[in-house]
Amino acid sequence: MMEVALVMGSISDWPVVKQTAEMLESLGVSYDKHVISAHRMPEQLQTFGAQAKGEHYQVIIAAAGGAAHLPGMMAANTTLPVIGIPVQTKALNGVDSLLSMVQMPSGVPVATVAIGDAGAKNAAILAAQIIALHNDTVNQKLVQFRTNQTQEAIKSNDQLN
Ligand code: RP5
């Protein structure tokens, strides 16, 4: 049983989503990963969303670009929390992806993070924070991550000289 389902609309999203996978690993969160296209695999999307709770996932992270319907349609098929990563696009720099997932109608939320690399990492951290509510090992890793981050920021003052 995995804690997180990491889904992406295309294999072309993997270079961004890989950062999410690496952050989940560093925070001790178990996950599996799948390409599920909202537009090219609509039946698979519906089945995956409908079965996700029964598979004992706790959070779904969904990344997509352009007309990014994957997170929203995943959210429509489950009551698990869905975190959406807007993948940066060539034509519109990912603003299309962001608006496609952040402007969900009332009743079906997608927790949408930033476009690109920061969002890819923050999606993993947000998922870990949800799982840490009842997983002390993940909680301790999160606390350590924050402590290291603060110390690195303080230490960066040395580079000003
Ligand atoms: C979306 O369309 C995917 O999430 C991807 O970001 C974008 C382009 O997909 P490909 O044409 O590269 O497969 O569905």
**pLDDT in single tens digits along all 161 residues of the chain:** 999 999 999 999 999 999 999 999 999 999 999 999 999 999 999 999 999 999 999 999 999 999 999 999 999 999 999 999 999 999 999 999 999 999 999 999 999 999 999 999 999 999 999 999 999 999 999 999 999 999 999 999 999 98
Give the pair of three-digit tokens for residue 6.
């990491």
Q: 64: Cβ below 6 Å to ligand 1?
A: yes
- CA-nearest residue for atom 5, ligand 1, is 65
pTM assigned to the model: 0.97
Count of domains in the chain? 1
CATH code where residue 96 lies:
3.40.50.1970
- Classify 84 as helix, strand or coil: strand
| Å from CA of 40 to ligand 1 middle | 10
Q: Give the closest residue (by CA) to ligand 1 atom 14.
A: 9
